[in-house]
Structure 1
Amino acid sequence: MANHKSAIKRNKQSKIRNARNVHARSTMRTLVKKVREAVAAREKDQAVGALSEVVPYIDKCASKGIIHKATASRKISRLSKLVNTLD
């Protein structure tokens, strides 16, 4: 356990940040799932709408360091490619 005042504070901050990151990552995964489900159901309008919702969220997660920027780019690319198969 932390003995110094600064170490106690860092521990508290770490827990708060971890909870925030877990929430953001979970939300991102849910939004990605919405896109995949819409594509599986062959609903182009819903898939495009869900994609336009998830892309900025993935970028936001990458800019905050929750996921790596290359991972974000790869996810966006694959989802875009998936939605474009619905033509």
Structure 2
Amino acid sequence: MANIKSAKKRILVNETKAARNKAIKSKVKTAVKKVETAIDQKDAETAKTALKAAIVEITKAGTKGVYHKNTVSRKISRLTKAVNGIA
């Protein structure tokens, strides 16, 4: 454990940020999983609805700095391509 006050604060702040990032990434993964499940079941309507929700979550994660903008673009692009493939 750190002895310096600022180092102790850093540890606490880092834990808070890590928890926030983990929650946001979890939301993204859940949204992506819903899209992939709909794709596996060949359900185009559900996939499109889930894709819209997933795009919102992924974009939010990018805006909040959890993901790099290129990662956001890549994830959205791959999901969209997969959904368009079943339609």
TM category (shorter chain) comes to over 0.9
1:85 to partner: Cα distance? 1.3
Once superposed, what is the RMSD of the aligned Cα atoms?
Answer: 0.9
Aligned-partner Cα distance in 1 for 2:57–2:12:
26
Instruction: Output the amino acid matched with 2:22.
Output: V
Residue of structure 2 equivalent to 1:20: 20
Q: If the length of structure 2 is used for normalisation, what is the TM-score?
A: 0.93
1:48 to partner: Cα distance? 0.6
Residue of structure 2 equivalent to 1:9: 9
Percent of aligned positions that are identical:
44
Alignment of 1:1-87 (within 5 A): 1-87=1-87
Q: Which blocks of at least 5 consecutive residues in structure 2 are unaligned?
A: none
1:26 to partner: Cα distance? 1.4
Aligned-partner Cα distance in 1 for 2:3–2:52:
47
1:86 to partner: Cα distance? 2.0
1:25 to partner: Cα distance? 0.7
Q: If the length of structure 1 is used for normalisation, what is the TM-score?
A: 0.93
1:20-64 Cα deviation digits (max 9, x unpaired): 101111111111011011011011111011000010110111122
Aligned-partner Cα distance in 1 for 2:3–2:29:
37
Instruction: Output the amino acid matched with 1:41.
Output: Q
Instruction: Output the amino acid matched with 2:78.
Output: R
1:7 to partner: Cα distance? 1.4
Q: Which blocks of at least 5 consecutive residues in structure 1 are unaligned?
A: none
